[in-house]
Structure 1
Amino acid sequence: MNIVVVGPGAIGSLWAYHLHLAGHHVSLWHHNPPESGAMSLALQTIAKQTLPAVSFTTNSHDELANADLLLVTVKAWQVETALAPLLAHLHPDTIIVCMQNGMGATDAIFDKIQHYPLILATTTHGALKTDAQQVCHSGLGQTMLGAANLSGEQCTFLAEVFNHALSEVHWVSDIRIPLWNKLAINCVINPLTAIHQCPNGTLDEEPFRPIINALLSEIASVMGAEGLTTSLEELSLRVHQVIVATKANHSSMKQDVAHQRRTEIDFITGYLIQRAQQHRIAVPSNLHLFEQIKQMEQPWIQS
């Protein structure tokens, strides 16, 4: 396939390299492209083996026009700004796959992209950009794909395409389920590690258990109102497993705050709060964390 990866950050670079290895023609679209028109990427594998650098064409309108698939891996708050200028160059049958943390990233631009086959994706693979030209695969995970519109439902073959590049990948009939399950995990780990500037594993300590239980109790209520079957026990187990499995990792929000970058809090806890308000469910613990993160990031967003 002809694939354009929009946003070659850590996850975008990881997928670009693996899709290239799987034999696809991959190019990149970057908000700040190199003058040379190409970007070099090397990969450090899970086994700490460094694979040779590959040169990817960047910001080519010809590549956009010929794209079978647009893989959008920018931050959730960047989706509309990144996608809108590209649409005029795409063929109407180009498949758009959006892979972001949180939920609601495509809402603001949905009217403009609903005529393309649209897929939502979520992944638990860990990736870290060690420098501009190298990405480190820092943790094995799973990727889930699902349709966001009717034409997207014709794209179940993408699970095999993605799985051949970086396993394991599953197509799900209701993408909301894995998206909400990951949102629940992110609502706990991201803001708490960002506020306390700690690795994920710190959250397994006793002082954090009351706040985690309060957060998950609220999240379970909202998920129930959304028609998703879950329980506080299930969510607690899932979050605990992720905290333990990623104990040495630093969450994306923790890193964003440390580097004074805008976070994805609006599409993580903010989305939860929005849905809670629709159902008239109080979520004071989540709201408090949301307000703390918004207050922390306000100075550098304003500047």
Structure 2
Amino acid sequence: MDIAVVGAGSLGSLLGGLLAREHDVTLVGREPHVGRVRERGLRVTGVESFCVEPAAATEVPDAADLALVAVKSYDTAGAAAALADCALDACLSVQNGLGNEATLADALDCPVLAGTCTYGARLTEPGTVAYTGRGEVALGASEGGPSQVAERVGAALDAAGVVTTVAEDMPTRLWGKLAVNAAVNATTALARVENGALADGPAREVAHDAARETARVARERGVDLADERAVALVESVVADTAANRSSMLQDVADGRRTEVDAINGYVADAAESPVPVNETLARLVRAWERGVSSGG
């Protein structure tokens, strides 16, 4: 399969590297990373160590069988506009937050699949990505139910050794992932702690309350996600990734814009009744972003 990975950051580069062992892959990202990949290949270290030689560019190709979108949520509209001129058979989002699939579907003529990904990755230098944790990609129709396109894409990922589940319950999975991200990302970013710090101590209940609020909003929108299930998902991720630094903590540490609007901000905007923990986390992260952007 001919696959364009749009958003060759940490996760996109890892997935692209894994897929390049079996498929024709183009990493679409920024310099100097993609330039180094063109010159020397992509080096993967950590859980598995190998080097592959995918194509690498700063612009999307003219055509691909699959676009795997891994850009930050605030760049989704730009990625959708770029892909609108690319001849595609299918598109798969593995992004954080909710609403990305709708943005992509509005711009593209091909089926757009929803996905969640629990693989751990971190760009250590241009051309090199650390594979920090083996996980799973779950994918399927964003509205739920069976999908032949999802089956084909899932088979392609599986053939490359990516642990893959083709799921018919993607709305529940997406809201479950949102609950985890709402609990873990902003909390660790504001407290400047690794994920494992949420297993006990003062930050634990903040994270659990954020997850419970997210589950309540999911139910308000017709998605069956119990509070207990949301908290259990958070506890599982925290245990499995205890030594990891969340993506939002990495963004804050590097002085970059975060995805809080598509995570805690999305929960707050979608809620029919107050969600004070998510609202507070979103406001605090936005206050930090404002200070950074103003040079404060």
Query: TM-score w.r.t. structure 1 length?
Result: 0.88
Q: Is 1:175 paired with 2:170?
A: yes
What one-letter code is carried by the residue in structure 1 that aligns with 2:191?
H
The match for 2:238 is 243
Q: Is the 8 A contact 1:5 1:72 kept in 2?
A: yes
The match for 2:120 among 119, 126, 137 is: 126
**Pairing of 1:1-303 with structure 2 (within 5 A):** 1-22=1-22, 24-32=23-31, 38=38, 40-47=41-48, 50-59=49-58, 64-88=61-85, 90-91=86-87, 93-113=88-108, 115-148=109-142, 153-155=147-149, 156-276=151-271, 280-302=272-294
Q: Which residues of structure 1 form unaligned runs of 5+?
A: none
Distance 1:272 1:166 in 2: 34
Q: Which residues of structure 2 form unaligned runs of 5+?
A: none
Query: How far off is 1:233 after superposition?
Result: 2.1
The structure-2 alpha-carbon separation of the partners of 1:289 and 1:190, relative to structure 1 and needing over 3 Å to count, comes to same
- Of 258-267 and 158-167, deviating more is 158-167
Distance 2:183 2:106 in 1: 31
- Of 126-135 and 219-228, deviating more is 219-228
Distance 1:234 1:178 in 2: 11
Distance 2:52 2:18 in 1: 12
Distance 1:51 1:201 in 2: 28
Q: Is the 8 A contact 1:103 1:179 kept in 2?
A: yes
What one-letter code is carried by the residue in structure 2 that aligns with 1:44?
T
Let me know the Cα RMSD of the aligned residues. 2.3
SS in structure 2 at match of 1:119? strand
The structure-2 alpha-carbon separation of the partners of 1:216 and 1:25, relative to structure 1 and needing over 3 Å to count, comes to closer
Q: Is the 8 A contact 1:4 1:71 kept in 2?
A: yes
Query: TM-score w.r.t. structure 2 length?
Result: 0.90
Write out the 4+ residue segments of structure 1 that deviate beyond 3 Å after TM superposition: 31-37, 106-110
Distance 2:37 2:116 in 1: 29
SS in structure 1 at match of 2:182? helix
- Of 227-236 and 187-196, deviating more is 227-236
Distance 1:218 1:96 in 2: 30
What one-letter code is carried by the residue in structure 2 that aligns with 1:42?
R
SS in structure 2 at match of 1:292? helix
SS in structure 1 at match of 2:178? helix
Q: Is the 8 A contact 2:105 2:111 kept in 1?
A: no
Q: Is the 8 A contact 1:38 1:57 kept in 2?
A: yes
Distance 2:274 2:183 in 1: 17
Identity over aligned residues, as a percent? Answer: 31
SS in structure 2 at match of 1:8? coil
- Of 35-44 and 98-107, deviating more is 35-44
Distance 1:208 1:86 in 2: 40
SS in structure 1 at match of 2:147? helix
Distance 1:147 1:233 in 2: 25
SS in structure 2 at match of 1:230? coil
Distance 1:30 1:239 in 2: 30
What one-letter code is carried by the residue in structure 2 that aligns with 1:287?
E
SS in structure 2 at match of 1:162? helix
Q: Is the 8 A contact 1:200 1:250 kept in 2?
A: yes
Query: How far off is 1:272 after superposition?
Result: 1.0
Distance 1:163 1:85 in 2: 27
Aligned length: 291
Q: Is the 8 A contact 1:123 1:141 kept in 2?
A: yes
Distance 2:37 2:240 in 1: 39
Q: Is the 8 A contact 1:15 1:166 kept in 2?
A: no
The structure-2 alpha-carbon separation of the partners of 1:87 and 1:220, relative to structure 1 and needing over 3 Å to count, comes to closer
Query: How far off is 1:163 after superposition?
Result: 1.6
